[in-house]
């Protein structure tokens, strides 16, 4: 597993405002989108490209375009949807799949899959899993293996914040045959007794979309 933690003044500034409990949902959503674009720039560094001949207004030249098959962006519902706009702004030609997973509250590292809208065959696809929080790591491992079962061998997770316990769990449980990378804005202090990240930013889904009873 390759872990990349962004180190940039803009990321630190935006993350500070994002964490503030007084930041309204409208600003929170915009900041998530902006942070994801900054993360995506790093996460897409190794996208496959092909040489393409073009003509500029001055002369013919050889450029590069994204190779087929197109990258696949997979938000983990529901909080991952808040990151989708930032990703598609940067990679507008990417395809989008959806994966609904939720944590089993009695067994925090185990997941329940309740929705799936993905291609059956992901062979050769570069996949990007987006979810704001890497807390226990259970969702990320389950989602990555879910993609791998369909043939994906190149998976990059983009999370805004992570807990050390979650990173450790992923390192210990991810299938080593997968070319797996994680990009985060920050690694926080710890998980609390309810498996929430400390200091964290609260429930990302609730702050993006409001509380659903």
Binding residues: 78, 103, 131-139, 197, 202-204
Angstrom distance (rounded) from CA 36 to CA 44: 12
Whole-number Cα distances in Å, 97 to 40, 75, 83: 17, 7, 13
State the CB neighbour count (10 A cutoff) for residue 127. 25
Residue 85, Cβ density class (10 Å: 0-12 exposed, 13-18 middle, ≥19 buried)? middle
Cβ atoms of residues 17 and 193 within 8 Å: no
Helix locations, 51-199, DSSP H: 84-90, 138-148, 164-173
Binding residues for uracil: 197, 202-204
The angle at the Cα of 133, spanning 132 to 135, to the nearest 5 degrees, equals 170
Helix locations, the chain, DSSP H: 9-19, 25-43, 84-90, 138-148, 164-173, 204-209
Binding residues for 5-phospho-alpha-D-ribose 1-diphosphate: 78, 103, 131-139, 203
């Amino acid at each position: 597993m390759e872990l990349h933690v962004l180190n940039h003044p803009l990321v630190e500034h935006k993350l500070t405002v994002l964490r503030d409990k007084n930041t309204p949902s409208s600003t929170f959503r915009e900041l998530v989108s902006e942070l994801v674009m900054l993360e995506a720039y790093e996460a897409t560094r190794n996208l496959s490209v092909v040489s393409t001949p073009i003509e500029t207004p001055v002369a013919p030249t050889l450029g590069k375009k994204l190779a087929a098959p197109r990258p696949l962006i997979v938000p983990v519902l529901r909080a991952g949807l808040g990151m989708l706009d930032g990703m598609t702004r940067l990679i507008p030609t990417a395809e989008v799949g959806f994966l609904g997973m939720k944590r089993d509250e009695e067994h925090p590292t185990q997941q329940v899959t309740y929705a799936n809208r993905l291609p059956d065959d992901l062979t050769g696809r570069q996949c990007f899993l987006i979810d704001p929080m890497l807390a226990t790591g259970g969702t990320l491992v389950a989602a990555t293996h879910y993609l791998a079962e369909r043939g994906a061998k190149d998976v990059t997770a983009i999370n805004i914040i992570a807990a050390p316990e979650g990173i450790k769990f992923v390192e210990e449980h991810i299938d080593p045959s997968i070319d797996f990378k994680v990009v985060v804005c920050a690694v926080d202090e710890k998980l609390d007794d309810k498996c929430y990240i400390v200091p964290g930013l609260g429930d990302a889904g609730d702050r993006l979309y409001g509380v659903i009873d």
